[in-house]
């Protein structure tokens, strides 16, 4: 059974996902899975001597959560590219909010560009972009080859796109 891509338009927002609060156990489990045993991720005294408020997670942990959010939302087979930039630390006790906004749609290619963010109440910890396949008349018919919908103006109305993880 082939799952169809979502119909997305410029300005749409995927339904946010909230994860947390982050625990020491979350960080240690991820360290074990990835083999990253830097003391910044498990030794509070070491992290404080390095100028941090305490233990922080490894950036790949938040990047992985953001990737899972995107693939759960748009369905993994429709993800064409994914990239992130680490912007700040994720600390024990933080709650992470994952979000995605459609910034442009290329009807000819049948793709959309998503702007991604992983944020805490203290600020952004990861930003990113993803290119995903989209449904729609132009994408399905191949019409308007090369036609691109420009990014949404700042004052445009945005709709939240419910996602189906089935």
Helix (H) or strand (E) holding 1: none
Contact criterion met (CB below 8 Å) for 146 and 103: no
DSSP state of 88: S
**Does residue 100 carry a pLDDT above 70?**
yes
pLDDT over 50 (residue 77): yes
Query: Which of 101, 103, 96 lies closest to 118 in space, CA to CA?
Result: 96
Residues in Cβ contact with 141 at an 8 Å cutoff, skipping those fewer than 6 apart: none
What's the rounded mean pLDDT across residues 126-134? 98
Q: 72 with 45: CB under 8 angstroms?
A: no
Confidence of residue 2 (pLDDT cuts 50, 70, 90): confident
Residue 158 pLDDT level (bands cut at 50, 70, 90)? low
Using an 8 Å Cβ cutoff, are 116 and 129 in contact?
yes
């Amino acid at each position: 059974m082939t799952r169809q891509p979502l119909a997305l338009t410029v300005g749409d927002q995927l339904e946010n996902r909230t994860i947390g609060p982050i625990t020491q156990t979350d960080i240690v489990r991820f360290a074990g899975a990835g083999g990253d045993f830097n003391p910044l991720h498990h030794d509070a005294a070491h992290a404080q001597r390095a100028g941090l408020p305490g233990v922080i997670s490894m950036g790949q942990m938040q990047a992985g959560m953001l990737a899972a959010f995107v693939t759960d939302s748009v369905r993994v087979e429709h993800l064409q590219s994914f990239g992130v930039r680490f912007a700040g630390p994720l600390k024990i006790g933080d709650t992470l909010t994952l979000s995605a906004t459609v910034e442009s749609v290329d009807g000819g290619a049948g793709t959309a560009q998503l702007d991604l963010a992983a944020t805490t109440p203290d600020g952004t910890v990861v930003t990113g972009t993803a290119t995903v396949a989209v449904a729609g008349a132009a994408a399905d018919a191949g019409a308007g080859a090369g036609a691109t919908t420009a990014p949404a103006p700042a004052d445009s109305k945005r709709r939240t796109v419910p996602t189906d993880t089935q």
